[in-house]
Amino acid sequence: MFAALCLVATLLLVVEIWRSFAGYAYPWHMPRLYAVSALTWLFSTLLPLYFYTAYRLPRWPLAASMLLACIALAGALPAHFDSRCWWMFLTGLAASLALNLIAVWRRLPGSRGGTLIALASCALFLLTGSQFAEGSFALVVCFLLLPLSAQLLAQLLRERSKAARARQLENQLLRKSMQPHFLMNSLSLISELNAQSPQAAETFIEALGAELRMLNEFAQQPSIALTQELALCQNYLSIMGTRLQQPCSLQLDGEAAGISVPPALLLTALENAFSHNRYRHGAVFILRSARHAKTQVLTLVLPEGEARPHAGGGVGEQYIRASLQAVFGDAANYACHPQQAGWRLTFSLPAAP
């Protein structure tokens, strides 16, 4: 809407100034006047509609119809072209001022600044005289659009801040949901192991305690070192190896130093692997680390196992994507692809300088 306002204002000024540069050709006199009138009507309509949409006021069809009717009535006055344009523009300014006053009464964000802009524009327009396009219109439009652009930029920054805060809260909620999920699964494992081997259950409880301590410590940080994440994963695989009575390990191919990741990023991928697969003979996971220019690529290879029914709601996948977005924004990318003997997860992160 704001871009349309700027475009129409530019076209109107070009149509008006055109005769000063190209000379005044009488056959073009009436088409130019009709063009000025049409563009003035369009600008006078778009201006209050801009405020209406910016404040998201209710009853849009009714208000738009009344607004168009008022401006059309001003344009149909039996007067000279310049006078009709003057009245149309004044009607648009008055409607904009009224909408801003309604927004102030509703205590909407940005309404006070908008009211000051509209009020000052009305006063300036009335004080500049009757020379519409040569003087008052050009002056008022420049005065009007500059603070509107600043207000729009401030609103954009507020919206981006709100969106970032919403993503941060979503990420925190997902983190909190991961810990109870892991704990519930672990408690059921303890019950099974206690019946089979109390010694194995005791070892499992110790490993579980260490895992929960690390999770609680790392969850308070936006990102952790990859070496810390690997320690978390190794401890988790030790827990799963105790349960399966089979070796489970994570092998690193490449360097881990100087790389930061969101906490529990790889751990979540491993948990998903065990949730969707049954590894009766243990499992070997491979993490490949490679740097390409300014991008650090982590590739986690998940072995194939026996497919098992899984009733999860995709929380793990949501956490992976939300945590990457919260830490790296659009600079990070995550992809999951099937391969011949399992799955390949790729995490593309901005490399440290």
Q: Distance (Å, rounded) from C-alpha 353 to C-alpha 348?
A: 15
At 168 the pLDDT is 60
Two structure tokens written together for 152: 């729009």
Q: Exposed, middle or buried: residue 114 (CB in 10 Å: 0-12, 13-18, 19+)?
A: buried
At 284 the pLDDT is 93
Interacting residues of 43 by C-beta distance below 8 A, sequence separation 6+: 5, 8, 9, 12, 89, 92, 141
At residue 128, the 3 state secondary structure works out as: coil
Residue 206: CB atoms within 10 Å: 13
Q: Distance (Å, rounded) from C-alpha 37 to C-alpha 22?
A: 20
At 289 the pLDDT is 94
At 335 the pLDDT is 92
At 173 the pLDDT is 46
Q: Distance (Å, rounded) from C-alpha 193 to C-alpha 242?
A: 9
At 63 the pLDDT is 63
Whole-number Cα distances in Å, 243 to 184, 186, 196 = 14, 10, 10
Residues in the chain: 353
Interacting residues of 336 by C-beta distance below 8 A, sequence separation 6+: 343, 344, 345, 346
Two structure tokens written together for 217: 């410590």
Q: From first to last of its 353 residues, what are the pLDDT tens digits of the chain? A: 888 878 887 787 777 766 665 555 566 667 777 777 788 878 888 888 888 877 777 766 666 666 666 666 665 656 566 777 777 778 888 888 888 888 888 777 777 877 787 777 777 777 765 555 555 666 677 667 777 777 777 777 777 776 666 566 455 545 544 455 566 667 777 777 777 777 777 877 888 788 778 877 777 777 889 999 999 899 889 888 877 778 999 999 999 888 999 888 898 899 888 888 888 888 999 999 999 888 999 999 999 888 877 655 567 788 888 888 888 888 899 999 888 888 999 999 988 76
Q: Distance (Å, rounded) from C-alpha 16 to C-alpha 35?
A: 9
Q: Nearest-5° angle of CA 236, CA 296, CA 334?
A: 65
Three-class HEC string of 22-83: HCCCHHHHHHHHHHHHHHHHHHHHHHHHHHHHHHCCCCHHHHHHHHHHHHHHHHCCCCCHHH
At 250 the pLDDT is 94
At 177 the pLDDT is 47
In this structure, what is the dihedral angle of CA atoms 273, 322, 332, 345, given to the nearest 10 degrees? Answer: 10
Domains of the chain, start order = 2-159 (no CATH), 197-350 (3.30.565.10)
Q: Exposed, middle or buried: residue 143 (CB in 10 Å: 0-12, 13-18, 19+)?
A: middle
- pTM summary value: 0.51
At 68 the pLDDT is 66
